[in-house]
Amino acid sequence: MDKISKEILFSKDAIQKRVRELADQISKDYEGKELIVIGILKGAFIFMADLIREISIPCRVDFARLASYGAGSESSGKVVMTKDIETSIKDKDILIVEDILDTGLTMQYLVDWLEERNPRSLKICVFLDKRKRRKVSFEADYVGFTIEDGFVVGYGLDFNEKYRFSPDIYVIKQ
């Protein structure tokens, strides 16, 4: 994996525009309500920070941490929760915010986990959706962009903890 080259997929400007559109839609859909936004660490922290600053309704935030990828670009397939949320979500409106939906195994695990706590509503917002790689039948309620298979980095997404800081999103080419 030494010789990595990257090809730009979404520029900072394209990302900002799409985040605003998602935030507008979410603000309309939840008008008059208070939202609890749950970000999945680590990848979602940048998208979530941008999104909640564009959302015009009051929202509270919390984070869960789930891991399915080991080192490298292939999922281990086994999801582990390493940090639970700290907020009571019973009878609340919940929006899960995630960087990317790939096989869907991570999201399925978290949704099952949160549903047990009886929220009033539970929706999912992902910035990127690799729909073709899904292993569980699962659709997000809000999607930034649908992408083809390929490993992407930047805007919070990493490869071996690298490239998270990049304001643009790239596809890795080996």
106 contributes a contact to ligand IMP by CB under 6 A: yes
Of these, 43, 119, 144, 154, which contacts ligand IMP (CB under 6 A)? 43
Site track 119-148 with ligand IMP (rule: CB under 6 A), x = hit: ------------------------------
Asked about 168 being catalytic, the answer comes back as no
The span of 31-39, 89-97, 99-107, 111-119 binding ligand IMP (CB under 6 A) equals: 99-107
Find out whether 127 and 101 touch, Cβ atoms under 8 Å: no
CA neighbor of 124 nearest in space, from 156, 98, 155: 98
Q: How far does Cα 13 stand from its chain's mean position? A: 19
- Which residue in the list 102, 112, 149, 168 is annotated as catalytic? 102
93 forms part of the interface with ligand IMP (CB under 6 A): no
Ordered alpha helix ranges (H), the chain:
12-29, 45-54, 105-115
Least distance in angstroms from the C-beta of 122 to ligand IMP? 17
* Contacting residues for 21 by C-beta, under 8 A, at least 6 apart: none
Active-site positions read: 102
